Amino acid sequence: MSKQQILSGDLLIFEGDPFMDESEQCVKILSDSALVIEGGLITEIGARDTLLAAHPSADHHAHKGKLICPGFIDAHVHYPQTAMIASWGKRLIDWLNTYTFPEEMRFEDPEYARKISASYLDLTTAHGTTTMASFCTIHTASVEALFSEAHSRGQRVVAGKTCMDRNAPERLQDTAQSAYDDSKALLETWHGVGRLSYAITPRFSPTSTPEQLEAMGALWAENPECLMQTHLSEQMDEIVWMRDLFPDARDYLDTYERFGLLGARGVYGHAIHLEPREIDQLQEHGAALVHCPTSNAFIGSGLFQMAALKARNISVGLATDTGGGSSFSMLRTMAAAYEIAQLSGSVLHAGQLLWLATQGSAQALHLSDKIGALDVGMEADIVVVDLASTPAIAQRYENAAHVWDRIFSTIMMGDDRAIADVWIGGARVTPTSCT
């Protein structure tokens, strides 16, 4: 049996969805508290002194004045774009052709896929991200590399082979049949191994023929326990392109819906320019959306309508969208979500932002029974945030009137220097850059 570990500090606790009720009633900060980790799980939560007295032989990790949170969950990424993040000056379609597709061709090489997988997981751990849902490339080696690396670290990861059989370079095209066969083989090999989950992954309808979308829909119907992840309504010129390719479609969502790719375990990235029928269908089917604010700003996509969509009780996660997104940091992503909301006419509370980056993303990925909250029985994926990590943030911390003001300043100004400690699956994995 593994030795007990105690983390003490200020605990972030969820008691509801802060978009559905008062934020500070749903998100609480328990000062001078602690949690016990054993066997990879959180086994107790309570007052620091009480738990220390009850477990005198446990290892104690004291984080006085720091915020202990669930590990950050990045609900939509492209790990193969790690090396080309922050590439200059293109909108979506040109950006794919100029930067993304040439880089993804390099994943024909299994060794390169292994190198980038390790680099990506190192970088995200340094920023406090403990789980992500990633698109890979069309190459099975790209999936195997990420899953193998994550499994060796005991990390919870969702991923899938990206499927494309048109409107991409020939070296990045598969077929309807090979996409089905490869995805099925990967799913059968990896889904449920350790903390790994497979997601059926058509990139987006413009890069899949109707035959491939139908094949992906069939595979999902055969494996309904899996997630299906794709892109939806990211840019207006993309929507025009979609209409040229699918002239009979009622809207963008219909290009998935008609092939069996709309459901409760569907996860749709971006979803900026939605029509009323699409919103109705997403709500009716219980599908999840993922907000990618740094990407939406960087590529000039538009403003996600957080308040309106959450008012419809649609599940929403938060994501960096590496490498269309310009940062690996979920803190920076929370800050961008705040800024996008301001431009859309609403104001997000710090508790809402933290909820999106943890519990909201866990719900979107159907993992909220395992991760995304500090609670007894949950997997011990934990990030400790230093709320005074730089001189600029420290002076704001000292002058803040309320705990939420202190937290908000770190959300808006923080980066990997704010990550004081990281635990994945009950094991301390804090990179040297965080110590």
Residue with tokens 């049996």: 1
| This prediction's pTM | 0.97
User: Residue 56 has what pLDDT?
Assistant: 96
3-state SS, the chain, equals CCCCEEEEEEEEEECCCCCCCCHHHHEEEEEEEEEEEECCEEEEEEEHHHHHHHCCCCEEEEEEEEEEEECEEEEEEEHHHHHHCCCCCCCHHHHHHHHHHHHHHHHHCHHHHHHHHHHHHHHHHHCCEEEEEEECCCCHHHHHHHHHHHHHCCCCEEEECEECCCCCCHHHCCCHHHHHHHHHHHHHHHCCCCCEEEEEEECCHHHCCHHHHHHHHHHHHHCCCCEEEEEECCCHHHHHHHHHHCCCCCCCCHHHHCCCCCCCCEEEEECCCCCHHHHHHHHHHCCEEEECHHHHHHCCCCCCCHHHHHHCCCEEEECCCCCCCCCCCHHHHHHHHHHHHHHCCCCCCHHHHHHHHHHHHHHHCCCCCCCCCCCCCCECCEEEECCCCCHHHHHHHHHCCCHHHHHHHHHHHCCHHHEEEEEECCEECCCHHHC
pLDDT at residue 1, as a whole number: 59
Q: Answer whether 270's CB lies under 8 Å from 292's CB.
A: yes
State how far the Cα of 62 lies from the Cα of 49, in Å rounded to an integer.
Answer: 12
pLDDT for residue 2: 76
Tell me, what's the pLDDT at 68? Answer: 98
CA 373 to chain CA centroid, Å, is 15
For residue 227, what are its two tokens?
């997630």
CATH architecture of 5-70+373-434: Roll (2.30)
Could you tell me the two tokens for 264?
A: 């409760």
Interior angle at CA 250, CA 167 and CA 212, nearest 5:
35
Give residues with Cβ within 8 angstroms of 137, minimum separation 6.
80, 104, 107, 113, 161, 162, 172
Name the CA dihedral angle for 396, 401, 405, 410, rounded to a multiple of 10 degrees.
30
Task: For 232-281, write each residue's pLDDT tens digit.
Answer: 999 999 999 999 999 999 999 999 999 999 999 999 999 999 999 999 99
How far apart are the C-alpha atoms of 432 and 20, rounded to whole Å? 39
Q: What is the predicted pLDDT for the residue at 88?
A: 83
Q: Return the pLDDT at 434.
A: 47
- Closest by alpha carbon to 375, among 35, 65, 27? 35
Query: What pLDDT does residue 432 have?
Result: 52
- The domain locations on the chain are 5-70+373-434, 72-364
Structure tokens at 127: 């920023």
Closest CA relative to residue 178, chosen from 145, 211, 135: 211
pLDDT confidence of residue 251: 98
Question: CA–CA separation, 222 vs 188, rounded Å?
Answer: 12
pLDDT, one tens digit per residue, over 73-104 is 999 999 999 998 988 877 777 878 888 999 99
**Hey, CA dihedral for 324, 330, 332, 338, is it positive or negative?**
positive
The residues that bridge with 73 in the sheet, in sequence order, are: 131
Q: Tell me whether strands 288-291 and 266-270 are parallel, antiparallel or unpaired.
A: parallel
Residues of the chain with pLDDT under 70: 1, 431-435
φ, ψ at 363 (rounded to 5°): -65, -40
Q: Look at domain 72-364 and name its CATH class.
A: alpha beta
Helices 330-343, 403-413: axis angle to 10 degrees equals 100
